[in-house]
Chain A
Amino acid sequence: MIQDFLQLTINGLLQGGIYSLISIGLTLIFGVTRIVNFAHGEFLMLAMYATFFLFQFVGIDPYLSLLIVTPLLFVLGLCSERLVIHPILNAPSFMQIFATVGLSIALQNAALFFWTADYRSVKTTYAGMMVPAGEFLISFARLMAFWAAVVISYGVFLYLKKTYTGKAIRAVAQNRTAATLMGINIRQIYFFTFGLGTALVGIAGALLMPIYYVFPTVGGLFVLTAFVVVVLGGLGNMTGAFIGGLVIGLVESYSGFYGATQLKEAVYFVIFILVLLLKPSGFYGIVGAEEMGEK
């Protein structure tokens, strides 16, 4: 009984680590630009394909390909911002959603067109490797993803806290008008933040490749969950995204075992709606910040 519970907790935390990893980039983009980026899942998908092809044709290990995939995604993020997001920054949020949905549909189907709907995976030596922890066995690749989530969220947290650009990004997230008055070029901040957020999902893509299959619609599995995590944790808050991811992972794990596996998504969507209604600033968000840019 207690054994089951501990195993479920471990599974939940590890799955939560994966959600955190994907959500860190999104919380940065959503928190700062307030753009609901539906293409976030497709960026993840592209990062996974890039990792896959680097492994398949060049023989680079997924963990090593981070060094190539992350800058690649950074540039992709910058390009998408310039071409798609930049022209609609002042459009109503709804128009922005349609633009990112358009981007998501186009990228997803371009992947389908070029790489077919086949499921692909990398065959690494450590794919099935288990790490013993007490009496439990933990998947090595999932543990790596979990620790990466810890390190990255802490790293981005420090970056936002300590550096000049980081402070400017936080200022823009908190109050656009005040940030502009302080002489921050918000267009530049948006541009850079979008690139940074996309680069972070690039890291997630590379780290997930040893765990998951990649196929054109893989991003769709994660993108709604990532939004739940982001709102739960509070917009633009790294600690929030990390904790939010773990909470969703645990909820999924427990509700899957004690309730029904098929209902786990319903449970966290209900939590999502409740958080939006009762505490729209999330766990760590700034109260009232969720209305910023709307008033």
Chain B
Amino acid sequence: MIRPLVQAFREPKSYIFVGILLCLVFLPQIVENPFVLHLIIMMLFYAALGGAWNIIGGFGGQLSLGHAAFFGLGAYTCVLLHLYTGLNPWAGMLVGMVVSSVVGAAISYPCFRLRGPFFTLATIAFAEVLRILATYFKNFTSGSTGITIPQNMGFANFMFREKAPYLYIVLVFALLVFLISYLIEKSRFGYYLQALREDEDAAESLGINSPMVKLKAAVISAALTSFGGVFYAQYILFIEPYSEFSLDLSIQFALIPMIGGMGTAIGPVIGSFVLTPLQELLRSWLGGGFAGLYLVIYGIILILVVIFMPQGILGLFKRKEIVNKETLPSPEEARSGQ
């Protein structure tokens, strides 16, 4: 586990990374503008959640659009435990991660048989069911009114008046997700996942226990996503089913690695650092007078990215490799003997 990290530090690229990290650590000391701090928190937040999705979606090719389910489960578990039993949010976060892992495993295992659009549709349905249940059990979750978390500032309660502590927590979170992704990328487990993504039948015939490998990746991904849900709940101090379990959120999680480059550790980070500021800026420029215009542009950008940049931003730098690949027959062509 240590070796890939040691090797990484021989490369000059990693010092750029460390430099950016140091800047982020000292940033709250220099910048006091809350909007800038909020923007950076959101960039790191989505980098982490995009990264969490990327573990099963990008490396494993199991393209879920239901990750908001784990996000919401984490947030609701933590907040409800805090409200009803007075459990500390940090402990609640761990419970939330366990709940999400168990639910993630229970749901993913049967769904992994489904391929392509059917897997994606099943994950959407699953998140929708959770959203409806969270809305329905009003006495317990206060339904669509949502829950305002009672303010009681302090580190022990995972609640702060300033933005800086949130920035540090989300920085640690993003770093954790990045490290896990990096280790997966360089490990045997990661190669298994990527082999499954490329051709499941071939990978199985080479002796990879595909359900087990996918399950592990799904559990890691669900647990990390759940952490993100808890962080967001503690950051805005309000939870509500429509925003916690929304399809838009699931789309956002998947979109970030897609923009940056799926199936790489750094992809989601690049994706979020490009997409999140772009979204925030578009929203603040066009959000005022022209209702909807910002999202029209967003939708069109989405279509253009899929058509012209299917490999994401990282793909732009790997053009040569892709051209070489195109001269080889695709697995389908090779099989049908065209």
Contact = CB atoms under 8 A, between A and B. Distances in A.
Interface residues of A, number: 54
A94 B303 contact: no
B165 interface: no
B75 interface: no
Interface stretch (A126-134, A138-146, A258-266): A258-266
Given A113-B296, A276-B121, A87 B133 contact: no
Contact of B125 (A36, A101, A108, A269): A269
Counting chain B CB atoms within 10 Å of each CB, the highest count among A227, A290, A295 belongs to A295
A262 B128 contact: no
A84 to B, nearest CB: 6
A184 interface: no
A19 interface: no
B116 interface: yes
A165 interface: no
Contacts of B132: 262-263, 265-266, 269
Interface string A13-52: 0000000000000000010001110000000000000000
Contacts of A287: none
B122 A98 contact: no
B164 to A, nearest CB: 34
- Main secondary structure on chain B at its contact with chain A? helix
B118 interface: yes
B213 interface: no
B300 A294 contact: no
Contacts of A106: 295-296, 298-300, 302-303
Contacts of A94: 63, 120, 254
A227 B121 contact: yes
Contact of B115 (A107, A177, A277, A291): A291
Nearest to B297: A106
B118 A101 contact: no
Given A106-B300, A266-B136, A273-B125, A113 B292 contact: yes
Interface string A73-105: 000000000001001100111111111011111
B44 interface: no
Contact of B290 (A91, A113, A295): A113
Nearest to A99: B306
- Main secondary structure on chain A at its contact with chain B? helix
Interface string A158-178: 000000000000000000010
Contacts of B290: 113
Interface string B92-136: 000000000000000000110111111011101110110011011
B116 A93 contact: yes
B43 to A, nearest CB: 21
Interface in B9-66: 63, 65
A109 B121 contact: no
B197 to A, nearest CB: 10
A113 B121 contact: no
Contact of B310 (A36, A95, A117): A95
A222 to B, nearest CB: 14
5 contacts: A87-B307, A105-B295, A227-B121, A231-B121, A273-B125
